[in-house]
Amino acid sequence: MKVLNTFLLTIILISNAMAQTTGKYATINGLKMYYEIHGKGFPLVLIHGGGSTIETTFGRVLPDLAKHHQVIAVELQSHGRTADIDRPLSFDNDASDVAALLKHLGIVKADIFGFSNGASTTLTLAIKYPELVNKIVVASTMYKKAGAYPWLWEMMKSPSFDNMPPQLKEAFLSVNPDQKALLTSYKRDVARMQSFTDMKVEDINGIKAPTLIIAGDKDVVTPEHAVEMSRQIPNAQLLIWPGGHGDYIGEITTIKPGITNYPVLSVIETFLVQH
């Protein structure tokens, strides 16, 4: 455990050093939104999962993605360095914020890569702001409640802050030391999941952007739902990867010392560059 904690601390320190030279804020929709830009090329927006930051979701793969893309990594309302504001936390609001950020940056079109709740935001972007979206990668997400295992919804009936993964808590506080902000973020994410409503099938059917769906075979979402979603979205490709919720990109609660190579990136790169 001591080795793992040292490993996590090293990752956080490196990520924070990178953020000091690349991190900026944009005031959009009444939100002071934190974002980072890495690399050059066609824009690729990274949208983290619930309770997360840029580093916790994408810290292991962002440097490789930035070799071929202009990576724009965001932190959403009430997450990490982006403070909360007086409005509900919702996929619609998150999508509106990302769309407003792209317009603020003068980006006409971008690829979007979202993980978990960030992938739900990505689906919403593709539905509501199709003019801004080129291709989407949606990882470990569902468009309806039945797409997740029943244990998730049972857990949401009586959630506990004590059960929030310590890696997420430590990483959040490393970029925002406000304990109240962390607790607020947790409560916001729980409330959103407790009120989760199915997306309309016709909206999913209407997604025009080429789509890559990724899920672990032992994920929060079922492989069967990933297959179903791939058949509902036109121009969709599907990848079921061995492992759990984010193993394939080194999400911080899944990383193991010594693992620095994530082969799924080659699949993502091939998808993004193909015509």
| Inter-residue contact 125 to 98 (CB < 8 Å) | yes
Helices (H), the chain: 2-22, 54-58, 62-65, 91-104, 117-128, 150-157, 166-175, 179-194, 201-205, 223-232, 264-273
Please report, for the chain, the start and end positions of each structural domain, with discontinuous segments joined by +: 2-273
Dihedral class, residue 248 (left if φ above 0, else alpha if ψ from -120 to 50, else beta): alpha
- Mean pLDDT, consecutive 10-residue stretches, the chain (275 aa), reads 48 49 91 98 98 97 97 98 97 98 98 98 98 98 97 95 96 97 97 96 98 98 98 97 96 89 96 89
Give pTM, 2 decimals: 0.92
Given CATH 3.40.50.1820, say whether it is the number of domain 2-273: yes
- Can you state the angle between helices 179-194 and 166-175, rounded to 10 degrees? 130
Would you give the DSSP letter of residue 247? Answer: G
As beta bridge partners, residue 34 has 25, 75
